[in-house]
Every structure is written in structure tokens, then in C-alpha cells.
Structure 1
């Protein structure tokens, strides 16, 4: 496309950074450290200003946030610019009906943006069908295999076998089972856990935290890439179906053996290249020891999968590129 392109997000995410770079878009991470209501008002004002600036071009927004997607959709109705929403797995799949007004508000934001956006990008066919059943238009594009920082700082990790558990301490991540699994591993194994453990109420000095567990907290991008490059294996777990865990792409990029959850979606995506585990401590510990005993096999498998997923991504990207180049795709948006 020859139009100016902006990519706006309220949550800084490696997927958005990589895709914005590939698209040639100006990337804007809109943030605020104020209290909840003030924070959203300030981010909305900044976003309105950015979208107005790019109203004659192409606007891409990341969802989450649903509020960001709805705001962009509302402005699209006014200024008639083409709008693409990169939608993560936040459809409330499998969750019951809520009487919480806040939940209903974000659901309305979600439904509105799906119908108004010219295109919604999702990570798998199931979510594509979800979008289309709700009246939207969707295309599948999984994460691009990221480029890890080659100048990442050197690290001397504490264990003979170091397992990097990529975690955000969200409800779908069985982090308590991982911590329990560490107790079942040999003493020279070390489980390194990323993410803000304070939001889960964890205390590194607690007796609950085994001696071979390290709660890293939030680490910088440079430090994170270093942990990825120096660990012996990576672990990324979820109890949610239809989620493609981002850490798996980073494992492929670094050629690290991957342990992930035994969901249908993850098994279909990673095939034979990963070791799968249930969300219980015994299964997690067994998976870690199996990978540690066969590291070269898993490194070879993940390297082969990286090549295949790179080819698949290029094919998916070409389909998106065709969509972007087709003026008719943006029905009712061309000035």
C-alpha cells in the first residue's frame, strides 16, 4: 500500500511490534500510569489524536484492548478510513453469562468492532470462524518468528538444567503447579519464572517457593532475550483452548526445546516439535525431565518446525498483502 499506516496498541506486545515492522507501519504504544478511569480517558484522547492524524491512511489497532478497538471502529464510521484489528484470544470462550455491567460493556465493544472493522486478524481457523459468525471478516495470521537480540547480555544461570517458564500470572496459566513441579525435579534443575509475580500474591521468600525456583519478576526486553538464549528449555502453559502461546514462537526463534500444554490447538500447531503436558505438577515435572534427557532431539525438532512455520507465515502474509492491495476489499471506505 502507498497510504500512511499506523499501528496503535494499549499493550506493548512482541507480536504487534513484529507485524507493524513487516507492514511498514508507524508503531504507537499508548500508555498512561494514572488511575483506572483517568488512564483510559488519557489513552482515549491520545488515540483519537493519532487516528485523526492517519485518517487518510490505514489504521491498525491491537485488541486487547476491546475499548481501543471500539474507539477506532467509532472513528472509522466518522472518517471512513480502512480499519484492521489484530485480535488476540479474548473472546470469553467457554465463560458463562455475567451480570457484571463492566463485562457487558467490553462485550458490546468487542461485537461492535468486529462488525465495523474491514478486517480482523486472528491466529487460527477456529477464531476466524468465530469472527465470521459474528458478522465480521477475518484472516488467519500467526505470530511472525521474532528476531531475538543478538547482543543480549550474557547470563550465568544457576542450574545444570535451566527451565524458563514464560508466564504473565494470568488465570489460565498453571503457575502454582509449575512451582510444585519444581520440588519433584532433581536439585540441579532450576525453574526460572518471568512475569509480575506480585499480582498473583507470591512472595519469593515464602516456604512455598522451592529452592530451585527463581521468580524473576518483570525483566527488560534485552534481559528476556538473554534468558531465552541461555536457558536449556522453555515452558509456556495455558489451560485455555484456541490460544497459541507467544513464548512458543520465541522458543522456535532460539532453537530451544519447548514444553507446552496438551490442548488441541497447541498440538495441532506445534505437532511433534514440542513436549506436551497436562496442567498438574507430576505431568509437568515428567515433561521437563524427558526433555532434559533428550535435548538434541527436541532442538532438532523445534528447528525443523521453525522452518515450516516461517514458510506458513509467509504464505499467510501474502494473503494479507493481497487483501491490502485490493482496493475493493475496503468496501465503503475508499474516499
Structure 2
């Protein structure tokens, strides 16, 4: 627990974020989400939106006079503003950086690298990403710290009633191979009609996928759902599935599964292998391999129920070590 002699705040230019909420809670930081000011932001509206967010961010810092400010990155403008302000009124800065911040368009923002190099610490979420960034030679001089996402508290969801469905956790973003996943599920369903697959996420982002599979018996598209309903669905699922084309991303959805004690399936990549080391089934991104992996998951369910709690124990220990390292580097509670 953070002692109150330190005044920590956490700022995010997003409407919400479970990862940020859990991180801020661990830090005992006051959390401020600053959402868009307009429904659509482009052209002059984008400039005005960022200007209003900048004013709001500065007013929060000036009002609360924190000793340490954590910010979520991207968008990359937020850490630039906060690090620049820290040079004037003197406070420590920590940038909680997600994979997208190292890719276009955010990595091209002027002064972005300057903010990373001038922050007191830059947290990233898995060791594979860390290795990849260092190998490029473009991020020398940045004080990186690897810290996995904090696990959800399984006590947050009660009245669990496990049912015969898999929850497909998706946002329908371009780095999620949802069509390949659904093709594999379709193959599985040809010989297994007792399970259903509930797909979360705004499918309008890839409407052609929705049109292709909307009539497939056993597949149900839920669209965007709120956090309470999502956690209820996840905690009561027979299992969960989440996929990413990225090799160096820690999928927060899988950390939510571990926190809630729900076994899951994902695709085979370096990060998943490093974190889950054969305790959860991982598949190649091929429809037949996906179908076979789901069948294997069902056969191994009792074993996987045990494995998920072993994983939870291991990752909680790792979190505590990394988190205490973060506190030490920022001289919190000293």
C-alpha cells in the first residue's frame, strides 16, 4: 500500500480502461480519465479536442500538486505535455506505455522519444517487447521497466454458474485474426453442437466478418457490452478465447481470465509461450488447428482448471516483484 505522504495521480486520455484502473488502484493513485470532447474528432475538431484535454490535464496537476504523475501512452501527446510540465513545477513522471506507442502514428509524433527519455520511468508490459525495442537501438537511454498487467480480483464477480459456451474476447481491431478464428470455430461446430461461442466487440469495425458468420449456428455476436455484463459472461464461461497477430503483445483479456480463474485458448506466439509455458492450449493461426485445439481444451478441462490457478499464483508473485521494483525506482515509501 502506498503511504499518503506521496501524492500520486494517474491520467489517461481515454473514457475508461480496466488495465489503468487496476494499476492506479495498486498505486493508491487518484485516477482521471479524460475522454473525447466531441463524438468525431478530425481536422480542426481534433486540434480543439487535444487543446481542451491539455488544459484539463494541466489544471488537474496544478490543483492536486502531485509528487508523481503516471500517464497512459498512447496518445503520445499526453506524456509530452506532462513531462514538459514536470520540468517547470518539479514532479516525477512515469509513462505506462502500450505497444501502439512504438508504432505509427504515435512514434512519429515530434518530442515523443524526448518524453520517453526524460520520464523517470517507462513501464512496458512484457519481456518480448522489451527485447525487441532494445534490439532496434532506437530506444537507448530510456528507463524501461517490465511490469505485467495486474490481475483482476476474482472476488469482484459472484454467483458463478458455469455454462457450455466459450467467450470470444475481441475488439475487432486489425491485429486480431478474427476471421481465421471463426473459420476454426465453424469447423469445430460441424461435429460439436453442444457448445456455443459468444463473440464480444464492435463487429461493425469489420462488418464483412459479421455478415459471413452471423447465420452460423452456435456463433452469437454480442456487440459492445458494458464491463459488468462482460465480467459476468467471462466468469461463467466454460472457457475463453482471445487472439492477436502480434508476437510481442501481452493480451490484457488473458490476464483477466487468469484473475477470474477462467481457462483460455490463444494463439502460439513468443509472449504467450513465455507467460503461459504450456499450461494453456495455444494454436497456430490455421482453422483446423484451432478446431483441434478447442476439442483438446474440452478434454483437458479439469487439468486446465488446476493450471489456471497455478498460473495465477506465479503471475501474482511476478507482479509483486515487479511492482516493488517500480516503487523502489521511484523512491515511493522511502
**CA deviation string 1:39-63 (max 9, x = no partner):** 3332222112112224442110011
Mapped partners of 2:108, 2:90: distance in 1: 24
Mapped partners of 1:318, 1:104: distance in 2: 29
The residue that corresponds to 2:183 in the other structure is: 180
Instruction: Using the TM superposition, give the Cα deviation of residue 9 of structure 1 relative to its aligned residue in structure 2, in angstroms.
Output: 0.8
Q: Give the 3-state SS of the residue equivalent to 2:248 in structure 1.
A: coil
Q: Does the 8 A contact of 1:60 with 1:86 survive in 2?
A: yes
Q: Give the 3-state SS of the residue equivalent to 2:330 in structure 1.
A: helix
**CA deviation string 1:268-311 (max 9, x = no partner):** 11112211112222222211111012210111111111111111
Instruction: Using the TM superposition, give the Cα deviation of residue 151 of structure 1 relative to its aligned residue in structure 2, in angstroms.
Output: 4.7
The residue that corresponds to 1:26 in the other structure is: 30
- Map residues 94-109 of structure 1 onto 2, 5 A cutoff: 105-106=108-109, 108-109=110-111
Q: Does the 8 A contact of 1:73 with 1:112 survive in 2?
A: no
Q: In the alignment, which of 10, 13, 28 is matched to residue 10 of structure 1?
A: 13
Q: Does the 8 A contact of 1:153 with 1:223 survive in 2?
A: no
Q: Give the 3-state SS of the residue equivalent to 1:251 in structure 2.
A: helix
Instruction: Using the TM superposition, give the Cα deviation of residue 109 of structure 1 relative to its aligned residue in structure 2, in angstroms.
Output: 4.5
Q: Does the 8 A contact of 1:70 with 1:113 survive in 2?
A: yes
Alignment of 1:259 onto 2:261: no
* Structure 2 gaps, min length 5: none
Alignment of 1:112 onto 2:114: yes
Mapped partners of 1:256, 1:279: distance in 2: 22
Per mean C-alpha deviation after superposition, the further-off stretch among 214-223 and 145-154 is 145-154
Mapped partners of 1:227, 1:301: distance in 2: 21
- Map residues 71-86 of structure 1 onto 2, 5 A cutoff: 71-86=81-96
Instruction: Using the TM superposition, give the Cα deviation of residue 73 of structure 1 relative to its aligned residue in structure 2, in angstroms.
Output: 1.8
Mapped partners of 1:225, 1:319: distance in 2: 30
Q: In the alignment, which of 273, 277, 287 is matched to residue 271 of structure 1?
A: 277
Q: 1:230 to 1:57 in 2, by over 3 A?
A: same
Q: Give the 3-state SS of the residue equivalent to 1:59 in structure 2.
A: strand
Mapped partners of 1:198, 1:222: distance in 2: 22
Per mean C-alpha deviation after superposition, the further-off stretch among 259-268 and 187-196 is 187-196
Q: 1:272 to 1:112 in 2, by over 3 A?
A: same
Q: Does the 8 A contact of 2:93 with 2:119 survive in 1?
A: yes
Q: 1:153 to 1:44 in 2, by over 3 A?
A: farther
The residue that corresponds to 1:240 in the other structure is: 246
Mapped partners of 2:143, 2:290: distance in 1: 38
Mapped partners of 1:172, 1:136: distance in 2: 27
Q: 1:326 to 1:150 in 2, by over 3 A?
A: closer
Mapped partners of 2:307, 2:167: distance in 1: 18
Once superposed, what is the RMSD of the aligned Cα atoms? 2.5
**CA deviation string 1:252-272 (max 9, x = no partner):** 122222111211111011112
Instruction: Using the TM superposition, give the Cα deviation of residue 139 of structure 1 relative to its aligned residue in structure 2, in angstroms.
Output: 1.2
Instruction: Using the TM superposition, give the Cα deviation of residue 128 of structure 1 relative to its aligned residue in structure 2, in angstroms.
Output: 3.7
In the comparison of the two structures, how many residue pairs are matched? 316
Q: Does the 8 A contact of 2:166 with 2:195 survive in 1?
A: yes
**CA deviation string 1:95-119 (max 9, x = no partner):** xxx7xxx66643x353122112110
Instruction: Using the TM superposition, give the Cα deviation of residue 207 of structure 1 relative to its aligned residue in structure 2, in angstroms.
Output: 4.8
**CA deviation string 1:228-261 (max 9, x = no partner):** 1111111111111111111111111222221112
Q: In the alignment, which of 39, 49, 55 is matched to residue 45 of structure 1?
A: 55
TM-score w.r.t. length of structure 1: 0.86
Mapped partners of 1:103, 1:27: distance in 2: 23
Q: In the alignment, which of 178, 202, 206 is matched to residue 196 of structure 1?
A: 202
Alignment of 1:293 onto 2:299: yes
Q: Does the 8 A contact of 1:191 with 1:212 survive in 2?
A: yes
Mapped partners of 1:149, 1:225: distance in 2: 11
- Map residues 289-328 of structure 1 onto 2, 5 A cutoff: 289-325=295-331
Mapped partners of 2:90, 2:153: distance in 1: 35
Instruction: Using the TM superposition, give the Cα deviation of residue 31 of structure 1 relative to its aligned residue in structure 2, in angstroms.
Output: 0.6
Per mean C-alpha deviation after superposition, the further-off stretch among 255-264 and 141-150 is 141-150
Q: 1:32 to 1:91 in 2, by over 3 A?
A: closer
Q: Does the 8 A contact of 2:6 with 2:332 survive in 1?
A: no
